[in-house]
Amino acid sequence: MQETAATAPQTGRPALILASSSRYRRELLERLRIPFDTAVPAIDETPQPGETPEATALRLAEVKARAVAAALPVGTGRALVIGSDQVATFDGHQIGKPGTHERALDQLRAMRGREVLFHSALSLLDTATGQTDTVDVVTKVRFRDLPDAALDAYLRAEQPYDCAGSAKSEGLGIALLEAIESDDPTALIGLPLIALTRMLLAAGYPLLAPQEAQP
């Protein structure tokens, strides 16, 4: 595991582990100003036959959390493991990460002037009980009807080839969007922080505890 916070968890705080290799999720979790580690879950992320986008996202979020929890060393104290997965769907089909400029341009061409649903699933596993709290946060995104030249210029400027939907709403990609509808503005970026903070507080994590005085 890689520790991404400046200090180890304070006494009485369970360890917090983000089961993800995504830099976007790591950057979002850093907004909460709490110590956490990251671990990459070794799982197969292929959708199962006949599986809905929502079911895929929910299943993979929990599988990621359980895979990382199962790999913790024997004797590890209580930990809260965060699993998350996002599946975009358009015309009933799942949209993956484009990987290349050409595929990203094809995605944006198909989606212009249309609505895309993003299922951002979140699962918090408590190793003390083995129980998970799992939720799917849905974001509706309507893309602007822009010409090929504008779509190509955007892709060359931001190169969002590791993003499902081929646009970064937190960056220049916002210019491609007509509207975003969601209960959680961070869900579209990859980690629903409103849902996560609710889960952490329900698990007894001292998210808003007073800071210890420095000597």
Q: Residue 104: enclosing H or E segment and its boundaries?
A: helix 101-111
Q: Would you name the residues annotated as active-site residues? A: 85
Cα gap 215→207, rounded to integer Å: 22
Structure tokens at 28: 């979002």
Q: Considering Cα of 95, then 27, then 210, then 82, what sign does the dihedral take?
A: positive
> Dihedral angle at the C-alpha atoms of 173, 138, 40, 158, nearest 10 degrees?
0
- Give the angle 147-153-158 at the CA atoms, nearest 5°: 130
Q: Residue 168: enclosing H or E segment and its boundaries?
A: none
As a whole number of Å, the CA-based R_g of the chain is 18
CA proximity to 209, closest of 33, 42, 69, 59: 33
Structure tokens at 132: 């998970």
